[in-house]
Amino acid sequence: MEHSYAIVGMHCEGCTKKIVDALERVPGIAQAAVSLSPPQATVKMNDHVPLSTLQAAVASAGAYRLQEHVEHALPAQTDDVAEAAPSESLYPLVLIIAYIAGAIVLIELTSETPSVHRGMRNFMAGFFLVFSFFKLLDLRGFADAYRTYDVLAQAVPIWAGLYPFVELGLGVAYLVGRGLILTNILTLALMLFGAIGVFRALRQKRSIRCACLGTVLNLPMTTVTLVEDLGMAAMAAVMLLLGR
């Protein structure tokens, strides 16, 4: 027996692999094939498997949901996708950066000895700490999404899982203000290398999800992501030149 289902909630090739693995672990499933475009699963069964069992399996792999009768469900899928997952928007990214920058500006303006250099360091600390937090909310999902465009993560897959912890370490280092020369060198290299993958994805006009805030928020890959990486690299370079 072979059945097809529409899938709601997928955003990258990593999602397809997770869903295939989850479905093929279900007793009675002989084979599962999942495509991203269109987002659907084709399941071959040795014995009948209830939809509720399949739904539980895909839900264990992430925020995914199956729909029966793929031929009727696909044209009307847009509304379901909008309800099941947040729509793509840069607003959360802009808001978070604005909050971090605003807090740093207020701290320096109310300080007896305002310092641009200290403000830059604290901004970078806040940036890395907040962004690593969102990535760690769904480490596996972030790693899958990050591998779709990051050059180093594609060459060394384990790097995708380590990246949020590296960001966390950099955030702590900037916050305590120790070993700043090494911290700035690592940040400069990290951001420039990351920018390569983003630039390549943009140049190829690939419609993929930006993983800078993990998978909790649905951010599109745009030039804003490239500016974000290059901006952080520029601040690290300035602090290196100033010996701070």
**pLDDT in 10s for each residue of the chain, 244 residues:** 788 888 887 777 778 888 988 888 888 888 888 887 778 888 988 888 888 888 888 888 887 888 775 444 434 444 444 344 445 578 888 899 999 999 999 999 999 999 998 999 999 999 999 999 999 998 988 888 888 889 899 899 899 999 999 999 999 999 999 899 999 999 999 999 999 999 988 888 766 778 888 877 777 788 888 899 999 999 999 999 987 6
Per DSSP, helices labelled H in 25-90 are 51-61, 70-73, 77-84
Closest CA to 139 of 225, 14, 7, 10: 14
CATH topology of domain 2-84: Alpha-Beta Plaits (3.30.70)
The gap from C-alpha 149 to its chain's centroid, in whole angstroms, comes to 11
End-to-end C-alpha distance for the chain, whole angstroms: 66
Decide: helix, strand or coil at residue 90: coil
Rounded distance, CA 19 to CA 138, Å?
Answer: 16
> Which helix (DSSP H) or strand (DSSP E) does residue 19 occupy?
helix 13-24
Rounded distance, CA 44 to CA 2, Å?
Answer: 4
Structure tokens at 167: 């960001």
Domains of the chain, by residue range, sit at 2-84, 91-241
